[in-house]
Amino acid sequence: MRFSRNISITIICIILGIMLSWQYKSIESNKKVSASQTKNLYDLQKELLEEKKNNENLRARNQELAAQVSEYIDAAGNNKKIEDGIREQLTRARMLAGLVDVEGPGIEITLDDGDLDYETVYDIDLLKLINELRAAEAQAISINGERIVAMTEIRYTDPYMVINGRQIYPPYIIKAIAEPEKLDYALNMLGGIIEIFRDSFGYKISVNKVDRITIPKVRDDGSVLKYNLLNPL
């Protein structure tokens, strides 16, 4: 943060220069009063009152500038605190964007095709499951080691899924970091998605609560995250 520190020092120097300039103007004005002894008493008294008023204004402004200098000095001394705050925000943003490995409590779901030919897990099924996990406030999700982010595509191409540009074969291991009890309740409720997948579609599915789950970051080779057309506003 050397740049921000240099800015703070520059601002302090400018303010001090202004303060010295005003003090010099005040001294020069007082000299003019002393040199005006040829004027009549009324004019001298009038000028003296005006100069007193100007001096009071300058003194008040001096106090304001001194307070600002003190604030800038304090800010310059708190650079580490500012840096730590920025670093914390950056880390949080990177976690939410899927750019770093994360860990935490959650659940692990194993989803596989049924025994019959038509009991096949399709892309729409995985998308529905991800939507349910997000509705239950899952903070990070992966499928067979592929981090699910905003730009992740999930497409069925018999006999596999394409996720983040990679071929993924069943069984599908879905990991989600969130409050395990909340996730378990949301998925296993009566008429919920687990019951539908198992009883209506014939899929093989199991859900396990886990105290510590590790979810890898998304690949940053440009194959998943693309933003060359984006411009910040």
Q: What pLDDT shows up at residue 111?
A: 97
Pairing of strands 204-215, 154-157: unpaired
Q: What is the CA radius of gyration of the chain?
A: 35
Assigned domain for 162 exists? yes
Of residues 131 and 62, more confidence is placed in 131
Sheet holding 160-163, edge to edge: 154-157, 160-163, 166-168
Q: What is the pLDDT of residues 203-231, one digit of tens each?
A: 999 999 999 999 999 987 777 887 778 88
Domain of residue 129 covers 102-215
Cβ atoms within 10 Å, residue 198: 15
Indicate the pLDDT class of residue 130, thresholds 50, 70 and 90: very high
Q: What is the pLDDT of residues 74-102, one digit of tens each?
A: 766 667 676 777 788 888 888 888 889 99
Answer yes or no: do 27 and 120 share one domain: no
pTM for the full predicted model: 0.65
> Any idea how long the chain is?
233
Of residues 219 and 144, more confidence is placed in 144
Phi-psi region of 165 (alpha: psi -120 to 50; beta: other; left: phi over 0): left
Cβ atoms of residues 112 and 204 within 8 Å: yes
Answer yes or no: do 72 and 13 share one domain: yes
Give the pLDDT mean for 171-177. 97
Answer yes or no: do 39 and 127 share one domain: no
Average pLDDT, the chain: 80
